[in-house]
Structure 1
Amino acid sequence: MRINKKYSEIIEWVIAIVLIVICWNYSIFSYGSFSPLKEHEQSERSFHYGPSKIVKTIDLDEGKIYLCRYKDWFSADTVKKGIIKWYSGDVGGTPIDYSKQVSYSWSSSSIKENLTITKIYGYVNNPKIAIILFEDENKTDISRYVLDESRMFIFYWKEDNQDNKIKYLKGLDKDGKVIYEEKVIGF
């Protein structure tokens, strides 16, 4: 009688442990990482992209953006901070189109309930371009990015709704002369 009770207790514990492991694997605790960098790397792996070289890390109150390059691709991966863990906001690569002066992409990622981070980022092929400008049609909102040896740029902003203004991406040479201009579609 005593042996059967001991075996039944062991079986109960084994079942309890198996159920805990199954529940843990399918719970919200199984997603995300305890480190923003680990979450970035994990999100790239899940997208079958990378591992990329991080060119720039941008710290936000609600998360981080990793501007990256992988072979002939570029990306700007957003990770957002949860209560305990970090979670992927968006990930994906865009191929560099070497036939264009500037290859760019844009994306938006929800950070909080009514808050989105929108970003436009890319790679500059034309070696004469030293500065990238991002401006609206009224030239009231102008952002400037001085290129470094990576030849990559990023503009980002928080928004709670789309303003739908026409925006332009411009490339300036070292003397400040506009040598590239393109209307940015999608905003």
Structure 2
Amino acid sequence: MRLLDRAPVRALLVAATATVVLTACGGTDSDSSGPSSSSASSSTDGGDSSAPAPTAKPADGDRVEADGFSYAVPEGWKENKNGAGAALSLAIDVTDKDGFADNVNVVSDPTIVNVKGKQLEDALVKVLKNANAQEIEVRDPLTIDGQEAVHTTALFNLNGNEYRVEQYTLAVDGKGYVITFSHNKDLSEADRDAVDQSILASWSWA
């Protein structure tokens, strides 16, 4: 199967853009508080979480295995190893007919490991603003297989093509992860959450 031929180039550009956005978190070192001084009560690296877990039924399509985690995708989604680039994992809805192939990619970022709670939220908002994202919002956190993630959303414009991202940022066992879902900008929040949380409900950290 030549998955690249079936997936719009736009979807692959989305994954690349998300990688660039998230690796910029290291710029927060210049902030006056510094990562090590965070006193936020929420944790993104182990321990009990007060954030809810996904309520959606876990996806029951193909299972994607990556270094440190695995997850299932909905029927019609396929892993794309050739297009992942710097991402640890990339999967795409190859059946999407609305002109934009919804996708999920995961990148690793060591700079977020010691940044938690409100400080991490502020850092992510700053990075998204620097990337010219619009309609940036910090949403309620979510627990992914026992680990609490900061949830942000934003609207991007890539060469005139607008798309919405939902990003979940957390640290697990001393390694930082950002899980980015990219969707057609016209997809409702409820529909985005239904897809995203079905994948996150299936998530397993190694």
* TM-score (norm: length of structure 1): 0.30
More helix by share: 2
Where relative contact order (Cα < 8 A, 6+ residues apart) is larger, the structure is 2
Greater Rg, structure 1 or structure 2? 1
* TM-score (norm: length of structure 2): 0.28
